[in-house]
């Protein structure tokens, strides 16, 4: 379903000096989403410029929302020569698709240059305006899939069913080996590769989401994205565990914490114990069932066992030839402790 993305450029701070003669900067911002581009006015002679621009409106569809990042390039205006690049800001809009209440985002974001690092901060506001009252009724189903990079289920959710592993692979041309690389600057090549990584990451999530929908799931946990740089191309791989989850909020009493041991017969993830490894029937991975761990809840209200949570899932050695990872996140001390206890 199409929607409107509104972007407002508010101000910037701590910009570098680009005009050595006056120790100032004439900054403006170029905003791009898909094939549409808008520009702010030039704020002259200021390292902390304020624009408070009008709302830039982008009409986009489902695929563009999932795959295309919002780009903001901060530039220094030059009258008699090409404008100098200060840095760029990327915003992933997919978080606004799955959130029930977060249709507006506002805050300070770092301005990053691929050669010089952080070069100030940019304050923006982003709004997602659907063409209907309840946009979730008309989104493509892959838009509503939840993705979690952690192998531990987040608090506030419980697992009703574990489906199995899902994966997808994409191949793209490396911008560093294109003919245009012979005439463009190293900064432009770096930005082209950076944009490719973000766009392919969004496409991978969309493809994985389509598979999860076909299998009857609504979330992916332990999601891993990896990139393999070849001689002429780039290979993008993603793997995760498809599950069916539901929120605990509707089952909680007023002022009751999500991790309360008596909440709906659930206990917090750090206090669960893995009982036995059992096979979940119908796991669609290469035509075979996938082993999955069921979790025993000794504090269950009805005394019955249910596969509600687990300490580790989706643990596998996936393509040792991968050069590096995308989006690795460090685990908390509690998660690390659970991991050690599980393996011991």
For residue 43, the 8-state DSSP code is: B
In whole angstroms, what separates CA 212 from the centre of its chain?
Answer: 17
Residue 287: pLDDT above 80?
no
Domain residue ranges of the chain, discontinuous segments joined by +:
3-142, 145-343
Fold of domain 3-142: Immunoglobulin-like (2.60.40)
251-274: average pLDDT:
40
* Average pLDDT value over all residues in the chain: 74
DSSP conformation letters of 280-298: PTT--BTTB--EEEEEE-T
Distances (CA, A) of 5 to 34, 39, 96, 198, 256: 11, 16, 10, 18, 36
Confidence of residue 158 (pLDDT cuts 50, 70, 90): confident
Residue 203 contacts residue 129 (beta carbons within 8 Å): no
| Confidence (pLDDT) at 45 | 92
| Confidence (pLDDT) at 288 | 41
Terminal C-alpha separation, the chain: 48
9-23, 274-288, 307-321: range with highest mean pLDDT: 9-23
235-245 pLDDT tens trace: 999 999 999 98
Q: What percent of the chain has pLDDT over 90?
A: 36
Residue 90 contacts residue 70 (beta carbons within 8 Å): yes
Which of the residue ranges 19-28, 170-179, 331-340 would you say has the lowest mean pLDDT?
Answer: 331-340
CA 109, 111, 114, 117 dihedral sign is negative
User: If DSSP codes are grouped into helix, strand and coil, which group holds residue 56?
Assistant: strand
Which residue bears the tokens 């992916």? 220
- Mention the CATH class of domain 145-343: alpha beta
pTM: 0.64
Give the separation between CA 331 and CA 241, rounded to whole angstroms.
Answer: 18
105-151 pLDDT tens trace: 899 999 999 999 999 999 999 998 876 544 444 445 667 788 888 87
Q: Is residue 180 classed exposed, middle or buried when 0-12, 13-18 and 19+ CB atoms within 10 A define those classes? A: exposed
């Amino acid at each position: 379903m199409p929607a409107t993305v509104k972007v407002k450029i508010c101000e910037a701070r701590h910009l570098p000096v680009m005009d050595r003669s006056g120790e100032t900067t004439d900054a403006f911002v170029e905003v791009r989403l898909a094939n549409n581009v808008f520009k702010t006015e030039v704020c002259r002679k200021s390292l902390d410029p304020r624009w408070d621009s009008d709302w830039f409106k982008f009409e986009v569809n489902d695929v563009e929302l999932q795959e295309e990042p919002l780009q903001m390039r901060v530039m220094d205006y030059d009258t008699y020569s090409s404008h100098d690049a200060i840095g760029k800001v990327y915003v992933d809009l997919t978080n606004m698709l799955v959130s029930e209440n977060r249709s507006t985002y506002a805050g300070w974001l770092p301005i990053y240059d691929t050669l010089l690092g952080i070069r100030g901060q940019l304050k923006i506001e982003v709004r997602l305006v659907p063409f209907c009252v309840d946009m979730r009724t008309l989104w493509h189903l892959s838009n509503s899939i939840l993705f979690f990079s952690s192998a531990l289920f987040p608090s506030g959710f419980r697992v009703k069913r574990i489906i199995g592993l899902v994966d997808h692979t994409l191949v793209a041309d490396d911008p560093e080996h294109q003919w245009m690389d012979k005439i463009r600057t190293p900064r432009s090549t770096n930005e082209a590769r950076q944009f490719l990584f973000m766009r392919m990451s969004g496409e991978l999530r969309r493809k994985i989401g389509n598979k999860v929908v076909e299998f009857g799931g609504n979330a992916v946990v332990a999601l891993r994205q990896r990139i393999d740089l070849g001689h002429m191309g780039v290979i993008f791989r993603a793997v995760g565990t498809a599950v069916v989850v539901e929120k605990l909020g509707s089952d909680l009493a007023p002022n009751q914490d999500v991790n309360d041991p008596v909440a709906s017969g659930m206990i917090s993830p750090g206090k669960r114990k893995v009982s036995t490894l059992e096979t979940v029937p119908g796991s669609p991975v290469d035509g075979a069932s996938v082993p999955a761990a069921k979790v025993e809840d000794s504090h269950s209200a009805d005394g019955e066992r249910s596969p509600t949570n687990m300490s580790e899932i989706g643990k596998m050695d996936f393509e040792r030839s991968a050069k590096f990872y995308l989006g690795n996140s460090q685990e908390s001390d509690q998660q690390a402790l659970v991991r050690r206890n599980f393996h011991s």
